[in-house]
Amino acid sequence: MSFSRWIAIVTLTLLPTMGFAQAPQSQIVPAPAFHAATKVTFPDRIADASRTRSIDYGKSYNEPRLGQSWHYQVPQTLSASIYLYTLGQTAIPNGATAAAVLQQFQQSQGELSQSGKYERVAVLKGPADCVVGSMTFRCVVETGTVVSTRSADKLQLLVTGFRNHFLKVRLDWHQNSPQGDAAAERFLQALASQVLR
């Protein structure tokens, strides 16, 4: 992997989570609700979660290959982020089994513990293929301690190829929370069946 590609991948993962790496809030350009390349509209709500922000990395950071992201939240219960990007690749196969998708999954999984947001990250379940609605993702569920709050959270990562893009979903909720488990499941099912159709 080239150094510039590695930097792009790290940037895609870290920009939304690390305060010191973000541009001032006034410089962040929101992504439109409609993603023209995949013909997907990201609504104000997905299941119980409300959209809190979106980011167009091309317009905000002059990195169009990092794509766009949409961030949702159920207060005190669930945080969810959806990323669509290409990293400049022109052919990304649909599904979770292509080498490029698997490489993107492995890179994303490794970057979580490097983000500085979590410590003591450990795999709880996976990695494995998982089916959500009619879509297959490469998935892992991990546990980690949020550095800023010291809370123990579950962290779920899902990656797949989708309409010539990488589609990455990250979910974060309190460990040992039946409400969080249920909210995460409702979010994923609604995302697959209502948004990504």
**How confident is the model at residue 108, as a pLDDT?**
94
Does residue 40 lie in a domain region? yes
Give me the number of domains the chain comprises.
1
| Nearest CA among 83, 108, 103, 109 for reference residue 165 | 83
Instruction: Scan for tokens 């974060």, then name that residue.
Output: 172
**Structural domain contains residue 22:** no
Residue 100 belongs to a domain: yes
pTM of the model: 0.86
Output the six-digit token pair for 166: 């990488």
pLDDT at 64: 94
Domain containing 89 equals 3-16+29-195
**Whole-number pLDDT of residue 138:** 97
pLDDT of residue 36: 95
Euclidean distance between the first and the last CA atom of the chain, given in angstroms as a whole number: 32
Q: Which residues of the chain have pLDDT under 50?
A: 1-24
Q: What is the per-residue pLDDT for 11?
A: 42
Residue 39 within any structural domain of the chain? yes
Question: What does the pLDDT read at residue 112?
Answer: 80
Residue 21 lies in a domain: no
> Is residue 59 within 8 Å of 82, Cβ to Cβ?
no
List the CATH number of the domain containing 89: 3.40.1000.10
> What is the pLDDT at residue 197?
84
Does residue 24 sit within a domain? no
168/39 Cα distance (integer angstroms): 16
- The residue whose two tokens read 């990092």 is 66
